[in-house]
Amino acid sequence: QQQVKQSPQSLIVQKGGISIINCAYENTAFDYFPWYQQFPGKGPALLIAIRPDVSEKKEGRFTISFNKSAKQFSLHIMDSQPGDSATYFCAARKLTGGGNKLTFGTGTQLKVEL
């Protein structure tokens, strides 16, 4: 049972284009929604994150759009560059017991072509 559903599985975008990755969740107990970027041979690293009381967050070319009523959030990469080619994961955090459970989506492999 996938608690965080991510699409598409792979994406090819031309240089300068917009990359869009979508995620959806069911559990309203999630209180923090980060996106992670992973390059081959490396562990994932935090890219940008949003809380559910905010509808949009922008950091440079990266923007998260958050729709609380639809339980959906998305990552937009503006002016996509070949260096953005990586695997992207959305995630959601939930308080449980005494700690935090961090659940990830299935990942999107992005390739930016020249």
Partner 1 sequence: DVKVTQSSRYLVKRTGEKVFLECVQDMDHENMFWYRQDPGLGLRLIYFSYDVKMKEKGDIPEGYSVSREKKERFSLILESASTNQTSMYLCASSLLGTGSRNTEAFFGQGTRLTVV
Q: Which residues bind partner 1 (CB under 8 A)?
A: 1, 3, 6, 9, 31-32, 34, 36, 41-46, 49, 51, 89, 93, 95-107
Asked if 93 contacts 42 with a C-beta cutoff of 8 angstroms, the reply is no
Q: Which is nearer to partner 1, 19 or 107 (by Cβ)?
A: 107
Type of residue found at 99: G
Q: Which is nearer to partner 1, 18 or 46 (by Cβ)?
A: 46
Q: DSSP assignment, residue 13?
A: E
| φ/ψ (deg, to 5) at 41 | 80, 0
Q: Which is nearer to partner 1, 18 or 102 (by Cβ)?
A: 102
Distance in Å, CB of 26 to partner 1, minimum: 14
Distance in Å, CB of 76 to partner 1, minimum: 20
Torsion of CA 69, 65, 6, 34, to 10 degrees: -100
Q: Which is nearer to partner 1, 6 or 80 (by Cβ)?
A: 6
First to last CA, the chain: 37
